[in-house]
A and B are shown apart, each in its own frame.
Chain A
């Protein structure tokens, strides 16, 4: 007896909403960044779910690609945050608002 597909999807939707909420509400750039990762992983979970339930391995293969890209993106993102911190002595994104009129 297996877990129904709806459970997986509800979990992944919940994870995604948590991610979105984190991105929109938190002020610490690292936390925002982690929330973005959470959104990515919720998408990965959906992919694996459908792959497993439909017996098609392509979805799982895609997850590997997403993880690779996410790792690269994490490296770049963290590097940007470090560079920002060196310039502004802060990672509070409320204070990083120079890109305006």
Chain B
């Protein structure tokens, strides 16, 4: 008996990390979840083309399996570490559930002290589970989807780099490291949207879509940077725990908080595609479908939501901005959902659906329901990744056809894809007991209880519209008559693609059970909220909602939204399966509204007219032709020619006759001598 005790006590003497015990060693390995994807990126990025070329095939497309296994393997390992760390954290008492892993000091200039340090707490663990878990599934799926692509290895390298950046973003323990991840995911998004750089996309190329995403994101990033500077100015630190402790205790004026929160929220609108910076996300569909699933649905776009949740105390200290967040979220949800109703491109519908769902998450943040928002991030990651991967499976089997008007009756040909897609559509519509029901209803309930009736009304209306366009998409794609040409032979996708679909379908179906509202679960309360409670405790204390609401109201609202959604589904079934003429007639009758929606409210055109064209015009007529050509070039050339002409006069001194130089030298020496002698 004495041996293990000795071993234990010996082990305790080595303080590797704060709060380190033998039981929690996996938590301290969490930094590996960041480094492993980086390793995968380096291997695939540096040697991918070499690996592909081994075996001597002319087009270098061999060894896809090796690259795919390396690419998904590192993510799978990260996921395993995260799972272990999660369970070890679960075993710890609540007050010890925050571990900071300090790797090394990055920058140290006077009071500015930035470390490469990762913070493992309840919130970052949830996000890490989503990112690595869904990321792993999508990586595996990509092995099948990207099969035969000429730059298979490049795809996996970028995907791994993305996971690396995303893990930095969510595990960072200071704003600067978060910003590193923030910019990193933006870069990877750019690289992956333009992955098929030689393909046409809409009016331009995929490169244009990539550039658009990058530039719009930069606008948001600028806001985020300003927020960061203001935080440093106010709190003299960029470390999360410092800033949040000071923010919850010190008497900082509310105006300062308002500005910080506003700037941070501008950053969030860029990354999470909210009004007014959402225009890049629909165009981001130019990338391969797994990219849309991973980056533009499940993980990257939720970074803004995560950031707002992480800075909940700052937002809670600025109630005005919190209202702005709620309003923007609600409007975005409704706005994007209505556009989604008329779109015909399968990925476009899903893109607008993503924007709309992100609006829900911001609505949750805005009404102070931070854990409900994060809960929706999680369930949305499951079902939206599933929807995108299902869409990818359809696109794959229909040979790159994306127009749902040219689908129909695909359920017979691809039953697994259709079944999983149906589960995801039911989940996103909020049919109990699928995951979307719990998370969406949680948000709707809080928006009623903390926000107001109007927020609830628009939210519920959006839920009905969501059910409408999702089932329009489902019915037009998988049910009804076959509307595709007979040279296409749709077929079920291979197992490497359908198994991820099935896993995600299971998660979409049962994922909601960890967040059953208090109403049903009784004294245990909401498990998910209980888990995240310590992270948001300060913010919620500051907000102090004293809503007097009964369970009866909650059940009533829940019933209304579920009944509305089911009615919406039956309605869309009637329109698109029984009487397809209704859809066309309605479109004709309300042509102006239809056009407005079809053209996405002309937002792109408005931006073209108000921002892009003026910028291009002033750049062309003033900045280029006057400022650059006349003023700057004139200045530079003028100075050069002035020096030239002056030199032309002065150079006549150089006669080339050695003796004239000698005379000058002699005179100089004589003068110097005289000066020396007479000054003595």
Chain A residues within CB distance 8 Å of chain B: 20, 23-25, 32, 93-94, 96-101
Please determine whether B659 and A24 come into contact, CB atoms closer than 8 angstroms: yes
Taking CB atoms, residues of chain A closer than 8 Å to B657 are 93-94, 97
Please determine whether A93 and B659 come into contact, CB atoms closer than 8 angstroms: yes
Give the docked Cα–Cα distance between A65 and B659 (Å).
28
Please determine whether A99 and B656 come into contact, CB atoms closer than 8 angstroms: yes
| B457: min CB distance to chain A, Å | 87
Is B23 interfacial (CB-CB < 8 Å)? no
Please determine whether B654 and A20 come into contact, CB atoms closer than 8 angstroms: no
Is B5 interfacial (CB-CB < 8 Å)? no
Give the docked Cα–Cα distance between A25 and B659 (Å).
8
Question: CB-CB contacts of B646-664 with A at 8 A, as 1s and 0s?
Answer: 0000011011111100110
Interface size class of B (residues with CB under 8 A): 10 to 19
- Among residues of B, the one whose C-beta sits closest to the C-beta of A96 is B658
Is B596 interfacial (CB-CB < 8 Å)? no
Please determine whether A100 and B666 come into contact, CB atoms closer than 8 angstroms: no
Taking CB atoms, residues of chain B closer than 8 Å to A20 are 666
Taking CB atoms, residues of chain B closer than 8 Å to A25 are 659
- Among residues of B, the one whose C-beta sits closest to the C-beta of A98 is B656
Most chain A CB within 10 A, of B652, B654, B658, B663, is at B658
| A37: min CB distance to chain B, Å | 15
Could you say which of A23, A96, A97, A100 contacts B662, with CB atoms under 8 Å apart?
A: A23
Give the docked Cα–Cα distance between A99 and B656 (Å).
5
Give the docked Cα–Cα distance between A19 and B654 (Å).
24
Apart from A24-B663, A97-B655, A98-B656, 16 more pairs, CB < 8 Å: A20-B666, A23-B659, A23-B662, A24-B662, A24-B666, A25-B659, A32-B659, A93-B658, A94-B657, A97-B656, A97-B657, A99-B656, A100-B654, A100-B656, A101-B651, A101-B652
Taking CB atoms, residues of chain A closer than 8 Å to B652 are 101
Give the docked Cα–Cα distance between A76 and B207 (Å).
69
Q: Which of B71-105 contact A (CB under 8 A)?
A: none
Taking CB atoms, residues of chain B closer than 8 Å to A98 are 656
| A71: min CB distance to chain B, Å | 23
- Among residues of B, the one whose C-beta sits closest to the C-beta of A95 is B657
- Among residues of A, the one whose C-beta sits closest to the C-beta of B658 is A93
Give the docked Cα–Cα distance between A99 and B657 (Å).
8
Please determine whether B659 and A101 come into contact, CB atoms closer than 8 angstroms: no
| A45: min CB distance to chain B, Å | 19
Taking CB atoms, residues of chain A closer than 8 Å to B654 are 99-101
Some 17 contacts from A to B, beta carbons below 8 A apart, are A20-B666, A23-B662, A24-B659, A24-B662, A24-B663, A24-B666, A25-B659, A32-B659, A93-B657, A93-B658, A94-B657, A96-B658, A97-B655, A99-B656, A100-B655, A100-B656, A101-B652
Taking CB atoms, residues of chain A closer than 8 Å to B662 are 23-24
Give the top 6 A-B pairs by smallest Cβ distance, nearest first.
A100-B656, A97-B656, A101-B651, A100-B654, A99-B656, A97-B657
- Among residues of A, the one whose C-beta sits closest to the C-beta of B669 is A20
Most chain B CB within 10 A, of A25, A32, A96, A101, is at A101
Taking CB atoms, residues of chain B closer than 8 Å to A93 are 657-659
Give the docked Cα–Cα distance between A15 and B306 (Å).
95
Give the docked Cα–Cα distance between A23 and B661 (Å).
11
| A87: min CB distance to chain B, Å | 15
- Among residues of A, the one whose C-beta sits closest to the C-beta of B648 is A101
Give the docked Cα–Cα distance between A100 and B651 (Å).
8
| A95: min CB distance to chain B, Å | 10
| B657: min CB distance to chain A, Å | 5
Give the docked Cα–Cα distance between A100 and B654 (Å).
5
Taking CB atoms, residues of chain A closer than 8 Å to B651 are 101
Taking CB atoms, residues of chain B closer than 8 Å to A96 are 658
- Among residues of B, the one whose C-beta sits closest to the C-beta of A27 is B659
Most chain B CB within 10 A, of A32, A94, A98, A99, is at A99
Give the docked Cα–Cα distance between A35 and B666 (Å).
14
Taking CB atoms, residues of chain A closer than 8 Å to B659 are 23-25, 32, 93
| A83: min CB distance to chain B, Å | 15
Give the docked Cα–Cα distance between A101 and B655 (Å).
8
Taking CB atoms, residues of chain A closer than 8 Å to B655 are 97, 100
| B643: min CB distance to chain A, Å | 15
| B649: min CB distance to chain A, Å | 11
| B674: min CB distance to chain A, Å | 15
| A91: min CB distance to chain B, Å | 12
Give the docked Cα–Cα distance between A90 and B121 (Å).
93
Taking CB atoms, residues of chain B closer than 8 Å to A100 are 654-656
| A88: min CB distance to chain B, Å | 13
Taking CB atoms, residues of chain B closer than 8 Å to A99 are 654, 656
Give the docked Cα–Cα distance between A100 and B359 (Å).
77
Give the docked Cα–Cα distance between A100 and B656 (Å).
4
Taking CB atoms, residues of chain B closer than 8 Å to A32 are 659
- Among residues of B, the one whose C-beta sits closest to the C-beta of A32 is B659
Give the docked Cα–Cα distance between A98 and B655 (Å).
9
Q: Which of B540-579 contact A (CB under 8 A)?
A: none
| B624: min CB distance to chain A, Å | 39
Most chain A CB within 10 A, of B651, B657, B663, is at B657
Give the docked Cα–Cα distance between A100 and B659 (Å).
13
| A13: min CB distance to chain B, Å | 12
- Among residues of A, the one whose C-beta sits closest to the C-beta of B650 is A101
Give the docked Cα–Cα distance between A59 and B662 (Å).
28
- Among residues of B, the one whose C-beta sits closest to the C-beta of A20 is B666
Q: Which of B615-659 contact A (CB under 8 A)?
A: 651-652, 654-659
Taking CB atoms, residues of chain A closer than 8 Å to B658 are 93, 96
Taking CB atoms, residues of chain B closer than 8 Å to A97 are 655-657
Taking CB atoms, residues of chain B closer than 8 Å to A24 are 659, 662-663, 666
